[in-house]
Amino acid sequence: MEQLTTFINIQTDYGFKRMFGTPKNKRILIRFLNALLGDTICVTDVVYHDKEMLPEDENGKRIIYDVYCTSQGENHHFILEMQNFYEPPFADRVLYYTTKIIAGQGKKGWDYKLKPVISIVVMDFDLKKMTKSLIHDMQMVDVKTGDVLSDKVRVLLLSLKQIEAKKWEECGSEIERLMFLIKNMDKLEKSSEIYKSKEYQDMFDAAETHNMVNEELVAYSESLQRMRDYQSGLDYARKESFDDGVSKGIEKGREEGRAEGRAEGRAEGREEERIESIRFMLSIGVPPEVIAAQYNITTGEVLGLSI
């Protein structure tokens, strides 16, 4: 049986938001921002904001950011996103998320003086049409001369693919080491030299599964399951030779699943999802009593669902 790892997978939706999007861990976010931007920006404090941005009218699209915050005095707006899988139109979505914060600064009597908006996307893939690089740092510039029109819109793409083959001792900069931890945290143990050094103790403390209460442990397990299920869907699509239309194939499968679920009944679908979640938690070593408490059933009922 697979065991629950000592530290969480930071690449999961839950893990990324726990590490960088919670007030109790904001010192980790500040460290990350300064490691990435320290040559031009010094962040001393941040204020977290509602991650959900509602549309201006009923036909508009709702946005939910992974992390949205401003620096002290609201001098800079920061958006942080974790993207494990490429989904077109990736670039359009990043631009839309960024410009929504730009447009949101407008108000009556406004003089058009913008506060900078910086979008940071941690990606576990490389973009095919771009040079492979650890960090892509983009602004509004003249494509011929490099002259900057405005520094108020900035997008940074960080590729975990460019760090996955590196060993810890090969990571020469602070941002490389932080990206290494994002990529490898769930593979590390307390016996590792990184942990023993105590240099990143706050990150290890935030990531340790032993420190999580029951509700947090269940939420993390469900997030890990979703990520693995999505990966399985991608692998299946590739196996069926749909490489050129993976996203369409996945969306079609989702729609067929939704239609089937509606036909068979939403209640039945929810029950099956619950059972699969319980089985997954058992498979990675979540204690049965923790699962039972979260789902309001007995430990015997939980064990009865094991396969």
| 240 pLDDT more than 80 | no
What is the spatial distance between Cα 213 and Cα 10, in angstroms, rounded to a whole number?
A: 17
Lowest mean pLDDT among 57-71, 115-129, 197-211, 242-256: 242-256
Question: Burial code of 243-275, b = ≥16 C-beta within 10 A, e = fewer?
Answer: eeebbebbeeeeeeeeeeeeeeeeeeeeeeeee
- Indicate whether 253 pLDDT > 60: no
Position of tokens 């960088």? 20
pLDDT in tens, 96-138: 999 999 999 998 888 999 999 999 999 999 999 999 999 999 9
pTM, two decimal places: 0.83
Return the pLDDT at 266: 54
The enclosing H or E element of 262 equals: helix 246-264
Q: Looking at the predicted structure, is the pLDDT value of residue 243 above 60?
A: no
Q: pLDDT digits over 60-95, tens only?
A: 678 899 999 999 877 899 999 999 999 999 999 999
Residue predicted with more confidence, 42 or 262:
42
- The radius of gyration of the chain's CA atoms, rounded to the nearest angstrom, is 21
Q: How far apart, in whole angstroms, are the C-alpha atoms of residue 165 and residue 181?
A: 13
pLDDT tens-digit profile of 140-184? Answer: 999 999 999 999 999 999 999 999 999 999 999 999 999 999 999
Please give the structure tokens belonging to residue 252: 């079609």
Task: Name, in order, each residue with C-beta under 8 angstroms of 263's C-beta and a sequence gap of 6 or more.
Answer: none
How confident is the model at residue 189, as a pLDDT? 97
Mean pLDDT taken over the chain: 88
Q: What pLDDT is attached to residue 263?
A: 47
Q: What is the pLDDT of residue 267?
A: 56
Most confident of 19-33, 252-266, 275-289: 19-33
C-alpha distance from residue 264 to each of 15, 270, 271, 278 (Å): 33, 11, 12, 22
Rounded to an integer, what is the distance from CA 260 to the centroid of its chain? Answer: 29
Look up residue 61 and give its DSSP letter: P
The Cα 143–Cα 24 span in angstroms is 42
Pairing label, strands 117-123, 77-83: parallel
Cβ neighbours, 10 Å, residue 147: 9
- Helices (H) and strands (E) counted in the chain, each on its own, are 11, 8
Give the span between the Cα atoms of 82 and 10, in whole angstroms.
9
Q: Could you give the strand order of the β-sheet that contains 135-141, starting from the edge strand earlier in sequence?
A: 46-48, 67-71, 77-83, 117-123, 148-159, 135-141
Return the pLDDT at 293: 87
